[in-house]
Amino acid sequence: MASSLRALRPALSTLSRASRTTALRQFSPAVTLNAGRQIRTFTDDVHNTPVFHLTEEENMLKEVVSKFSNDVILPKVRDMDEAETLDKSVLEGLFEQGLMGIEIEEEYGGSGMSFTAAIVAIEELARIDPSVSVLCDVHNTLVAQAFRKWGSKALKEKYLPRLATESCGSFCLSEPASGSDAFALQTKAVKKGDGYVLNGSKMWITNAMESEIFIIFANINPDAGYKGITAFVAEKNFPGFSIAKKEKKLGIRASSTCVLNFDDLYIPKENILGEEGQGYKYAIGILNEGRIGIGAQMTGLALGAWENAVKYCWNDRKQFGKLIGENQGLRFQIAQARLEIEAARALVYNAARTKAAGANFVMEAAMAKLYASQVAGKVSGQAVEWMGGMGFVREGLAEKFWRDSKIGAIYEGTSNIQLETISKILQKQYTN
Ligand SMILES: Cc1cc2nc3c(=O)[nH]c(=O)nc-3n(C[C@H](O)[C@H](O)[C@H](O)COP(=O)(O)OP(=O)(O)OC[C@H]3O[C@@H](n4cnc5c(N)ncnc54)[C@H](O)[C@@H]3O)c2cc1C
C-alpha cells in the first residue's frame, strides 16, 4: 500500500508554500527596527504564530497519524499491553504510513519531512499508545537520524532505504554498569583484519525484538577513556550477536526492552558510523535531540490520559444526580491539568523549533523532557482518580497511561540528569 504521507506530500508542499506566501504578504511591508533607517524587517526571522502552531503539512501528518492510531492501534492497545508484545500489524502499518522514515530523504525512500513533523507524529501516537510512540521515536530520532548525520554515503545507501521501509532500528548505548554515566561503557572493540571484533553486552535496548539494525557504541581504545568510544552498525543476523533477555516492565510493556550480548561480534570496517573515537560526541548530540522526542511522547501521553478521563467525567458518570465533572472540585483540577499539558507542549515545540532554527537547544530540550515527564506523571495519576474505580481497573486505558508515564523520568537521561544539564548551562550563563 502506498504511504498516505507520500501520497499527500506534493499537495502538502504546494499548500504550505501558498500559505507561507499569504502569511508573509499579510505582514509586509513589516515594522522596522529603526523607523528612519530600515535595518531589517521583523518578518525576516520572526514567525508571527504560536510556538505550537502547525504548518499545513504538519497538520495533515497529525491527521494521518491520528487516524492510524485510532483505527489500527487503539483496538490492540490492551491486548498488546497484556501480552507485553507489539502486534506485527502495527509495525507494518507504521512502515506503510511512512512513519518510520519521517525525516529520511525521499531519495532513500523516506517521507522527507522535518524534525518537528517527527515530533508531531510521536506526540500523536502517544495519545493512544506510548509504547508504539517510543518505537517510532527511537527509530526516527535516534537511529535514522544518526545514519543521516554521520553515515558514509555507502552506509546511507545501504541502510536508510531499509530503515524507511522495512527494518526497525535500535540505539545501543546503556550497559549493566553504565546508565547515567553512559561513557563508562565496557563493551570493547578490537581491531581484526579489515574490521573490529566486539565483546560485551548492552542493557535496556528499546525495539530489540523488532529491530534488524543496531547502532552499537563500543570502546576501541579504553586507555583514551570516552575518547575511544566509536559507533558501529550491526545487523541481527551477524554472527556473535544475540538477545539475552527481554525485560518484564511496569509500563510501555508492548515496547520491547532487551539485554544484548556480543560474543566476538565481527563488524566490517565500512560499518563504522562516522569517525573512530567520535562516538561520545554523536551520542551526546543525538540524545539532546531525542529528548525532545521523549518530551513529545510524554505530552501526548498526558493529553491521552486527560481526554480519556474527561470524556468519562463529562459524559458518562453521574453521582448525586449530576455528572461528576460538573463538580467544581473536579472541574478546576481538569482545567489546571490541561493548563500544565499546554505548558509542556509549548516547551516541547519551542525546543523543536529552536533546533529547526539552527540555534542551541540543549537547555530547551532538557526542560521540555523534564517538565513533560513531570506533567505526564501528575496528570495521568489524577486521571485515574477522576475515574474512581473505573480508572483503576485494567479495562480502560487510565491505569496504563499512569504506568507508562513513569518511564519519562528515566530513559534518555533521568530527571536528575536533565536538572544537572539545565543547572550547568544556567551556572555558566550567570558566573562572572
Ligand atoms: C524501558 C527502558 C528503555 C530504554 N531504552 C534504551 C535504549 O534504547 N538504548 C539505551 O542505550 N538505553 C536505554 N535505556 C537506558 C536508560 O537510558 C537508562 O536507564 C537511564 O539512562 C538511567 O540509567 P540507569 O537505569 O542505569 O540508572 P542510574 O544511572 O543507576 O540512576 C539511578 C538513579 O541515580 C540518579 N543519578 C545517577 N547519577 C546521578 C548524578 N550524577 N546526579 C544526580 N542523580 C544521579 C538517577 O537520576 C536515578 O534517579 C532504557 C531504559 C529503560 C528503563
- Tell me, yes or no, if 412 is annotated catalytic: yes
**Is residue 41 domain-shared with residue 189, that is, in the same domain?**
no
- Which of 167, 199, 231 terminates a domain? The answer is 167
Q: In testing the pocket of ligand 1, which one of 180, 374, 403 has its CB within 8 Å of the most ligand atoms? A: 180
Name residue 213's beta-bridge partners: 169, 235
Q: What is the pLDDT of residues 192-233, one digit of tens each?
A: 999 999 999 999 999 999 999 999 999 999 999 999 999 999
- For helices 328-356 and 115-126, give the axis angle rounded to 10 degrees: 160
Q: What is the pLDDT of residues 303-313, one digit of tens each?
A: 999 999 999 99
Q: How far apart are CA 370 and CA 265, in angstroms?
A: 36
**Is residue 144 domain-shared with residue 228, that is, in the same domain?**
no
Q: What is the sign of the dihedral through the CA atoms of 192, 228, 173 and 216? A: negative
**Is residue 231 domain-shared with residue 364, that is, in the same domain?**
no
| pLDDT at residue 4, rounded to an integer | 53
**Is residue 148 domain-shared with residue 193, that is, in the same domain?**
no
Q: What is the pLDDT of residues 123-171, one digit of tens each?
A: 999 999 999 999 999 999 999 999 999 999 999 999 999 999 999 999 9
CA-nearest residue, atom 24 of ligand 1: 179
| pLDDT at residue 6, rounded to an integer | 55
CA-nearest residue, atom 47 of ligand 1: 416
**Is residue 302 domain-shared with residue 423, that is, in the same domain?**
yes
**Is residue 247 domain-shared with residue 293, that is, in the same domain?**
no
C-alpha 417 – ligand 1 centre gap (Å): 9
Centre a 10 Å sphere on the Cβ of residue 318 and count the other Cβ atoms it contains.
Answer: 11
Average model confidence (pLDDT) across the chain: 91
CA-nearest residue, atom 23 of ligand 1: 179
**Is residue 15 domain-shared with residue 160, that is, in the same domain?**
yes
**Is residue 146 domain-shared with residue 240, that is, in the same domain?**
no
Q: Domain range for residue 403?
A: 281-430
CATH code of the domain in which 368 resides: 1.20.140.10
Q: Which residue has the higher pLDDT, 16 or 402?
A: 402
Closest atom of ligand 1 to CA, residue 208: 8
124, 276, 412, 420: which is the annotated catalytic residue?
Answer: 412
Q: In testing the pocket of ligand 1, which one of 203, 246, 411 has its CB within 8 Å of the most ligand atoms? A: 411
Q: Is the CB of 173 under 6 A from ligand 1?
A: yes
Q: How many Cα atoms are found within 13 Å in the side-chain-facing hemisphere of 427?
A: 6
Closest atom of ligand 1 to CA, residue 414: 47
For the entire predicted model, the pTM comes to: 0.91
CA-nearest residue, atom 30 of ligand 1: 179
Q: In testing the pocket of ligand 1, which one of 178, 204, 213, 260 has its CB within 8 Å of the most ligand atoms? A: 204
26-40, 274-288, 327-341, 397-411 — which is least confidently predicted? 26-40
CATH code of the domain in which 106 resides: 1.10.540.10
Name residue 217's beta-bridge partners: 231
266: Cβ contacts below 8 Å, ≥ 6 apart: 192, 195, 196, 197, 198, 238, 239, 240
- Which of 167, 194, 223 terminates a domain? The answer is 167
C-alpha 38 – ligand 1 centre gap (Å): 52
Considering only CA atoms, which of 275, 125, 260 is closest in space to residue 198?
260
Q: Is the CB of 423 under 6 A from ligand 1?
A: no
**Is residue 20 domain-shared with residue 96, that is, in the same domain?**
yes
| pLDDT at residue 1, rounded to an integer | 37
**Is residue 147 domain-shared with residue 97, that is, in the same domain?**
yes
Whether 10 has a pLDDT exceeding 70, the answer reads: no
C-alpha 114 – ligand 1 centre gap (Å): 28
- Going by pLDDT thresholds of 50, 70 and 90, the confidence category of residue 39 is very low
- Which of 227, 251, 279 terminates a domain? The answer is 279
**Is residue 134 domain-shared with residue 216, that is, in the same domain?**
no
C-alpha 412 – ligand 1 centre gap (Å): 7
Q: How far apart are CA 69 and CA 118, in angstroms?
A: 15
Number of domains in the chain: 3
Q: Which residue has the higher pLDDT, 30 or 418?
A: 418
Q: DSSP per residue over 78-97, as a string? A: HHHHHHTS--HHHHHHHHHT
C-alpha 369 – ligand 1 centre gap (Å): 14
**Is residue 15 domain-shared with residue 161, that is, in the same domain?**
yes
Q: What is the sign of the dihedral through the CA atoms of 46, 50, 56 and 59? A: positive
C-alpha 154 – ligand 1 centre gap (Å): 33
Residue pair 25/66 in contact by the 8 Å Cβ criterion: no
